Structure 1
Amino acid sequence: MKFASPILFSLLICLNFYLLLKIQKNVAESRKCEIGVENLANVLRAQKSTNLAEILEFGGEDGVKNDTKTVQTQLYALYSGGGLGNLLFELTALRGIASLLTRRAIINVDRRDVIDVLIAKVQPVFPRLIEQFEFRLIPKSKIRVLESNLEACCKFDDPERFSKISDPNLWLRGHYFQSFKYFDHLRDKVRKWLRPSLMTQIRADSLLEGEFFKHFIICTHVRRGDFTTDGLHKPSDGRFTRLATDFLVEEYQKTHEKVHVVILGNDPIWSQSIFYDRVTNKSLQNFALPYIENSPPKNSPKYQATITPTLTAETDLAFSNRFCDVVLITAPSSTFGWWLAYLAKPAAQVYYRSVVESRDGVIREMVEDDFYPPSWIKLETSMGGDQIRRAKFSIGH
């Protein structure tokens, strides 16, 4: 294979040098030293070769050449500033789509912004996930662009409709790909790819006092922050959060002697105002609250609650993976809350607030059956607003 353009060759060498510097910086600064991104090294082989064809033809650790069929997606969340939940959806969806189409999952190295995010945000935390992709430079002229999942975040656009297309390289132009149906057939593998590192697990273990380690743990996820101002997502509501947590405590106290509640999320001060009469944290017991959003519900069951500090997203994921027997999603469109539930203990039961009841704007882009797995149980408040019940049309039970 010959290339007439010296400009293309020069650009690729510059890109390779840039990526090498980024990875070297990542090794020096990151708390994780196991880079383990063998596929990214495929591109960096240019440092040892003057033959551009070597880089374009090298197809990964199994040595398959570049005539193997590939698929890539827009990875919109990676260059638009999406949070970790959004990033995980797009990356795992791409890997799942590749599996369904029997194609290689590709990340094209012509996207410097995407590579930046992968190196800075994803690879240090989930190196095994990054290892599931091949990094290649595929000219746009050799890629067939198809529209998929273009107009909605949370609907399943079955990629198998592209299974009979023979073009060697496909690019699915769409946003977010937030449906478990893209990758649920790989769930056991996904859990391995997103398994926390030893150091992250140690930090997660420190969130819980030793006396509660063997208790049945109900994890309530709180999502506030930008959800309170973006005009689209509905944040966790104080009344629902407390009532639903109490409801689940009563349910599981019937079958478990010791039930403990852990509040995960991005607003521990707000959470303290909701669970102030149940908090075990000594550092929070005398906290000067700015307000009390709701008085404790009448007939609230007796239990203790631990409010975790806002550390890192991966710490919360590691905690859920190790300790959460039940997960309650109180902000129904939170993608991070979704992953907290999906990666919880294998037998964990998941509950989530009705996205319709919360009046979350994402409902316009969502098919609930595509976003929430069928075993998850939808909760809603009663007509009087003072009780929680399973939704009549819950996907689950």
Structure 2
Amino acid sequence: MGRNNLASAVWTTVAAIVAGCALFQATSLSFDYMKLRQLPIYASATSIGEFASTVGIVSGEMRERRGLVRALLRDRSTVDFDFFTAQEAERRSIVEARNFLRNVLKQDQLVAIGFDQAKIKFVDTDRMFQRYCSTDENSLAQTAIAGLDDGAAVPPPVATKGPPALTDKQRSLFQAACAIPKNYCLGDRPSETSGERARMICAQNALQGLTGRSLALKTFSYDGAQYLADALKLSYPELQPTDMIRALQVVETYRALTLSTKGRECAELTDLNAKQCITAGRDNNWLAPFWDFLFSQPLAVMYMILALLFGGLGNLSSYLFATVAPDRIAPTPQEGPWYAALAGGGSAILVLLVVMAGFQFFAVGGASTPDLAYPNPSRSAA
């Protein structure tokens, strides 16, 4: 009889440990999910599978744009260097244009166009070119720089009184320097055949374009949690961006338990096909129905079963000790292990009810929300 009781106690203990671990995992995940969804503990986590499918689909849609997001983050980290490079190129083009004027024009001509008073800026330099460039060339130049911001506005019309006339050699040099060909700027670089004025306009346009891009990149803020929350609010309005880490943890744990490993492959499909794909993947796993059954049970009932199991385990450990210990230390029990397990489990349930303020623990209201699902000693006197 003693040997049979010992064997029964051992197998009962093993079974209780396995069942207790499974229920504890299901209860823990259900609690996290129901607190995430703001569900009461007398409800159940039945919809966790649908929630995992929806999160997988939304995450898949976000992964489709990850290449673009990575590129934007990379550009934001290097845009300051690009901006510095564009500034240097723009300044170099202005200096080259001023050197052209200094080398080609005579002193009285330089004085007439205000060379010494002009700042090393695009507007002042282009204004000096207007004095010797033809009307058609000035019109093309104004069209090329019409999109620039106020810092590089189109220079105002030149005075009616022109500077000293150019010689034939000077006129020939200015004709090449003032020309604005159709392909004077290839991307953000001037063509090799462009003159000084065209190169200056090309560099200025490139700088202004990068200025706008730099502002856009620096104001760009990638927030994956915000995106997930906004997308999931269509189905789960109560979710907040601060909940996304817990939501992903719940989903990953659920997939690991149910062996739903096809989440990423299914997420690449359309909304309807993705749900069908995930459902088919779960149906092929024998563990999924087991866990879904546990998640479909009210959380309060699961707490009571856990109390029964772990309370029984506590008494079974004493039972096993008394069985194998010498009689002078503890008398060998003669009754079966089930009595000890039920006594311990029943005591644990009573303790749970007292700590959780009685049977209100299983009712709507009172201690029925996830925030109050923890033991509450302050209410034990009730």
| TM-score in terms of structure 2 length | 0.18
Considering fraction of residues, name the structure with more strand: 1
Considering fraction of residues, name the structure with more helix: 2
| TM-score in terms of structure 1 length | 0.18
Q: Which has the higher contact order (CA 8 A, sep 6+)?
A: 2
Larger Rg: 2
